[in-house]
């Protein structure tokens, strides 16, 4: 399939039509093999709709996808299509080691190649857990046949002793308080049992919820899809509607590259900032844009953040969770509130524009979605920091930092690797106090490897016991979208390729100024040159297989961490 696949290359036939109408040996084989599964000649005349079902018992967030797939099929049949389910790899955050980020690009490749290799006319991509939706969106842009994303929905709220719990924001809080000796082993077990009580993905505005909102804001999922809780019957209704709608997209030949454009990416960034979404979304949006041939600079995120108030009162930056956000209207109500800031003319999978879709949408709950004119905070959730410590940028979720640390200068306490961090963070002799800046090196795309979510560097136990709950922490790693605290992540270039982060030493002064968008290492140039001359790359984590391919071809965080060879040729140059 060429990148510009169109029906004129097949005499005006759809891909599925050409597949079954072949008059030679292969047509005979295609028809007879397919009919052996119980399909009739009438069925073979219908648009063929691939349904990418990423069910896996190694991915809790997709545990209900078998059932969801049946509802999509029902919609496809109702609309006159022929549904054909297929698998790809499925990556669940807590299950994949060292990190799902290692496999996001593999899933994107798997999905793209499955779509291109099979003569399907359209595809429904069912995803949910953090890396799955970005992988599917990247694949959808590259394969570019009609496609809709159906996300699996968030879990219901956890409940314990009258308190609402959210994964994984409260996972951190419970384990932190357990470590500080404030809760017992038994209480921890009770919390484990209570926090995740239904199917679905993490139910705060973590990466999964953010990417679901982004799929909707881009126009690639039907309006209202993102926030419906996984067990709610309306999630099944949404699955059926999605099945119906993909058939219409095939008839109208509306494709991802008609929908995902620089303007719709701006809309997705606006929504991300208004709901203080995950920092991971920045990497994924840059990667999705890259598949279009659009180099999306970090400055664009900062520009949009500066002009998009934070208005969605959902954890980890706010008070409520996805269940309440759904009751408050979800992404359509959010987009209605920020409509003056959106590109209303962008096409969506409804076949209409953003403006069309927002006709008649209400914003019913001002405790959940604040007015643009009276927001929770005047700017969006994420700020981009630059300086001599992060020449190509670093990110901070500014809505989740402690106010007293927004502007801070402190002495570095350096950990040279995740293993070093684990070995020494709770050492009673560690020379650290609450004003120190914790620095983790060699945890970036090529470093750790694959940039794991370990940027929420633990507070040293001796400070925890003294009541310290936040410190400035800096790394080239990522954080979970459910994390909170003064966490500077995605420092680029990373330490493992010689970036300045790798040149920091214990005792160096580091200055953070969020409002000034500054991250500076106060060490003179000559000393830095000397350290750079002595710098040695850490040993590679892999010497064969997919891991080696990853190390050799992955791009830096500010470039989306895609593989260079998956970008269109014009973007295949690193900075």
Q: Which two tokens stand for residue 562?
A: 């895609």
Of 272 and 441, CB closest to ligand FES: 272
CA distance 418 to 431: 18
Q: Are 494 and 393 in contact (CB under 8 A)?
A: no
Residue 60 CB, shortest distance to ligand FES, in Å, is 7
Tell me which stretch binds ligand FES (CB under 6 A): 71-79, 200-208, 269-277, 554-562: 200-208
Burial 86-117 (b: 16+ CB within 10 A, else e): eebbbbbbeebeebbbbbbbbbbbbbbebbbe
Q: At 553, phi and psi to the nearest 5? A: -120, -5
Residues 52-71 that bind ligand FES (CB under 6 A): 61
Interaction of residue 165 with ligand FES, rule CB under 6 A: no
Cβ–Cβ contacts within 10 Å for residue 298, how many? 23
Interaction of residue 197 with ligand FES, rule CB under 6 A: no
* 233 dihedral zone (left: phi>0; alpha: psi -120 to 50; beta): alpha
Interaction of residue 129 with ligand FES, rule CB under 6 A: yes
Q: DSSP letter for 156, please.
A: P
Tell me which stretch binds ligand FES (CB under 6 A): 91-99, 110-118, 136-144, 273-281: 91-99
Q: What is the largest CA-CA distance in the chain?
A: 78
Interaction of residue 212 with ligand FES, rule CB under 6 A: no
Tell me which stretch binds ligand FES (CB under 6 A): 202-210, 285-293, 337-345, 536-544: 202-210
Tell me which stretch binds ligand FES (CB under 6 A): 6-14, 87-95, 176-184, 312-320: 87-95
Helix (H) or strand (E) holding 125: strand 122-127
Q: How many residues does the chain have?
A: 575
Q: Pick from 27, 80, 94, 352 the residue near ligand FES by CB under 6 A.
A: 94
The pattern of x and - marking residues 2 through 41 that bind ligand FES according to CB under 6 A reads: ----------------------------------------
Interaction of residue 131 with ligand FES, rule CB under 6 A: no
Query: ∠ CA(244), CA(83), CA(57), 5° rounding?
Result: 105
Question: What is the DSSP secondary-structure string of 375-420?
Answer: -SBSS-SEEEEBSTT-TT-EEEEGGGS-GGGSEEEEEEEEESSHHH
Residues 439-458 that bind ligand FES (CB under 6 A): none
Separation in Å, CA 125 to CA 69, 208, 289: 10, 15, 18
Interaction of residue 478 with ligand FES, rule CB under 6 A: no
Q: Which two tokens stand for residue 423?
A: 């070995």
Residue 129 CB, shortest distance to ligand FES, in Å, is 3
Interaction of residue 208 with ligand FES, rule CB under 6 A: yes
CA torsion, ordered 458, 460, 464, 467, to nearest 10 deg: -100
Q: Pick from 140, 202, 405, 501 the residue near ligand FES by CB under 6 A.
A: 202
CA distance 334 to 496: 40
Residue 58 CB, shortest distance to ligand FES, in Å, is 12
Interaction of residue 352 with ligand FES, rule CB under 6 A: no
Interaction of residue 92 with ligand FES, rule CB under 6 A: yes
Number of residues that bind ligand FES (CB under 6 A): 10
Of 60 and 446, CB closest to ligand FES: 60
Of 56 and 442, CB closest to ligand FES: 56
Cα dihedral across residues 169, 170, 175, 178: positive or negative: positive
Q: Are 155 and 235 in contact (CB under 8 A)?
A: no
Cβ–Cβ contacts within 10 Å for residue 41, how many? 9
CA distance 400 to 554: 29
Q: Pick from 30, 46, 201, 255 the residue near ligand FES by CB under 6 A.
A: 201
Query: ∠ CA(214), CA(132), CA(6), 5° rounding?
Result: 75
Tell me which stretch binds ligand FES (CB under 6 A): 30-38, 49-57, 90-98, 136-144: 90-98
Interaction of residue 170 with ligand FES, rule CB under 6 A: no
Residue 260: which residues within 8 A CB-CB, separation 6 or more?
137, 140, 141, 218, 219, 220, 288, 292
Q: Are 337 and 372 in contact (CB under 8 A)?
A: yes
Tell me which stretch binds ligand FES (CB under 6 A): 15-23, 92-100, 141-149, 399-407: 92-100
Q: N- to C-terminal Cα distance for the chain?
A: 30
Q: Pick from 110, 112, 121, 130 the residue near ligand FES by CB under 6 A.
A: 130
Interaction of residue 277 with ligand FES, rule CB under 6 A: no
Residue 192 CB, shortest distance to ligand FES, in Å, is 14
Of 92 and 224, CB closest to ligand FES: 92
CA distance 61 to 127: 9
Q: Which two tokens stand for residue 215?
A: 């799929």
Interaction of residue 496 with ligand FES, rule CB under 6 A: no
Residue 194 CB, shortest distance to ligand FES, in Å, is 16
Give the rounded distance of the alpha carbon of 8 from its chain centre: 36
Of 202 and 341, CB closest to ligand FES: 202
Tell me which stretch binds ligand FES (CB under 6 A): 86-94, 112-120, 246-254, 428-436: 86-94
Residue 136 CB, shortest distance to ligand FES, in Å, is 14
Interaction of residue 268 with ligand FES, rule CB under 6 A: no
Interaction of residue 155 with ligand FES, rule CB under 6 A: no
Q: Which residues of this chain interact with ligand FES, rule CB under 6 A? A: 61, 92-94, 129-130, 201-202, 206, 208
């Amino acid at each position: 399939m060429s990148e510009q696949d169109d029906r004129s290359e097949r005499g005006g036939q759809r891909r599925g039509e050409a597949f079954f109408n072949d008059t030679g040996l292969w047509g005979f084989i295609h028809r007879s093999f397919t009919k052996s599964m119980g399909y009739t000649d009438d069925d073979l005349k219908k648009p063929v709709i691939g349904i990418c079902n990423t069910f896996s018992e190694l991915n809790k967030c997709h545990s209900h996808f078998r059932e969801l797939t049946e509802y999509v099929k029902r919609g496809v049949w109702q609309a006159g299509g022929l549904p054909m389910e297929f698998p790809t790899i499925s990556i669940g955050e807590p299950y994949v080691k060292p990190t799902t980020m290692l496999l996001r690009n593999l899933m994107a490749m798997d999905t793209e190649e499955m779509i291109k290799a099979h003569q399907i006319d359209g595809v429904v991509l069912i995803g949910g857990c953090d890396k799955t939706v970005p992988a599917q969106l990247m694949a959808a842009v590259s394969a570019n046949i009609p496609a809709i994303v159906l996300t699996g929905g968030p879990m219901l709220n956890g409940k314990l002793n009258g308190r609402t719990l959210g994964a994984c924001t409260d996972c951190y809080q419970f384990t932190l308080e357990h470590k500080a000796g404030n809760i017992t082993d038994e209480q921890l077990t009770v919390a484990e049992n209570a926090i995740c009580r239904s199917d679905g993905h993490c139910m705060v505005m973590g990466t999964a919820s953010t990417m679901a909102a982004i799929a909707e804001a881009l126009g690639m999922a039907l309006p209202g899809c993102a926030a419906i809780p996984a067990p709610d019957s309306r999630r099944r209704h949404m699955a059926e509607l999605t099945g119906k709608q993909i058939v219409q997209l095939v008839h109208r030949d509306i494709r991802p590259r008609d929908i995902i454009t620089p303007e719709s990416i701006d809309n997705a960034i606006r929504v991300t900032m208004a709901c203080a979404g995950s920092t991971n979304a920045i990497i994924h949006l840059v990667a999705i844009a890259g598949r279009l041939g659009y180099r999306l600079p970090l400055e664009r995120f900062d520009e949009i953040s500066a002009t998009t108030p934070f208005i969605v009162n959902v954890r980890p930056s706010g008070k409520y969770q996805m269940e309440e956000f759904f009751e408050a209207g979800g992404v359509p109500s959010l987009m209605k509130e920020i409509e003056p800031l959106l590109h209303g003319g962008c096409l969506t999978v409804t076949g209409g524009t953003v403006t069309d879709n927002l006709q008649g949408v209400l914003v019913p709950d001002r405790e959940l979605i604040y007015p643009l004119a009276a927001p929770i905070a005047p700017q969006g959730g994420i700020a981009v920091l630059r300086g001599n410590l992060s020449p190509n940028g670093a990110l901070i979720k500014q809505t989740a930092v402690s106010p007293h640390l927004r502007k801070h200068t402190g002495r570095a306490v350096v950990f040279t690797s995740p293993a070093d961090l684990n070995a020494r963070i709770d050492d009673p002799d560690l020379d650290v106090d609450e004003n120190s800046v914790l620095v983790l090196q060699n945890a970036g795309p090529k470093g750790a490897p694959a940039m794991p979510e370990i940027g929420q560097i633990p507070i040293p136990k001796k400070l925890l016991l003294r009541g310290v709950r936040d410190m400035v922490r800096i790394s080239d790693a990522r954080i979970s979208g459910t994390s909170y605290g003064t966490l500077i992540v995605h420092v680029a270039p990373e330490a493992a390729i010689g970036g300045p982060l790798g040149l920091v030493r214990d005792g160096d002064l580091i200055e953070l100024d969020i409002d000034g968008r500054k991250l500076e290492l106060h060490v003179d140039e000559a000393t830095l040159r000397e350290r750079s001359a002595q710098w040695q790359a850490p040993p590679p984590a892999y010497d064969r297989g997919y891991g080696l391919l990853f190390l050799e071809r992955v791009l830096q965080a500010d470039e989306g961490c895609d593989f260079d060879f998956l970008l269109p040729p014009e973007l295949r140059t690193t900075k």
